[in-house]
Amino acid sequence: MVSLGIFSLISTLFLVLAVPTTAASSKLSADYYDQVCPKALPAIKRAVEAAVSKERRMGASLLRLHFHDCFVNGCDASILLDSTSAFDSEKEAGPNNNSARGFEVIDRIKLEVDKVCGRPVVSCADILAVAARDSVVVLGGPTWAVQLGRRDSTTASKTTANKDIPKPFMNISDLIKNFKKHGLDERDLVALSGGHTIGRDVINIPKARDTP
């Protein structure tokens, strides 16, 4: 699997990306739900464990889903919104269309969390953040304290998703510029790159045969 060092960098990366974008979410804390719904985080953990147990790849998909959400106007769950007459869904953007996955898992988690809390008190943005962390843990990485208290966006931007989410054909200079735009540096870029190996065993590449 990917090294613990890379996992630690990933946790730092998401802490940077999770900078609040609205006044309503300006005070994040790891214990945000301790009083209003102490059962929320354990419920998310159980659901993630079940999803990854059923399909190991889902852990990587949930981590990626959180990243693609955060790179478009902050970690606000806008990636979960379907298109309306007012905006085009980020799901339809090039980096996400027929690529981003795990939406049904987040839907199930939201239903379960609302059930154990007795009301819809936990935001989808926080569910995405915690699910990403729990995915890393269940796949063998370290844990970290997720800052909570985000508010869900009521709008989305396909245009911004197409512009801001890193593209696979970008060269290193373009990637560095892209990350710098979001307040991230080369160390964060390495973390994201390493994160793409999450949940995969290291492949043993056979030695080249000696030439005759």
The reply, when asked if residue 92 is annotated as ligand binding, is no
The reply, when asked if residue 107 is annotated as ligand binding, is no
The reply, when asked if residue 104 is annotated as ligand binding, is no
Cβ atoms within 10 A of the Cβ of 85, count? 4
The residue from 66, 68, 91, 150 that is catalytic is: 68
CA distance 94 to 141: 30
The reply, when asked if residue 69 is annotated as ligand binding, is yes
The reply, when asked if residue 72 is annotated as ligand binding, is yes
The reply, when asked if residue 196 is annotated as ligand binding, is yes
The reply, when asked if residue 120 is annotated as ligand binding, is no
Q: Is the dihedral of CA 169, 9, 205, 1 positive or negative?
A: negative
Cβ atoms within 10 A of the Cβ of 114, count? 16
> Does 68 participate in catalysis according to the annotation?
yes
- Give the active site residues: 68
Task: Indicate the annotated binding residues.
Answer: 69, 72, 74, 76, 78, 90, 166, 196-197
* Residues of each annotated binding site for heme b: 196
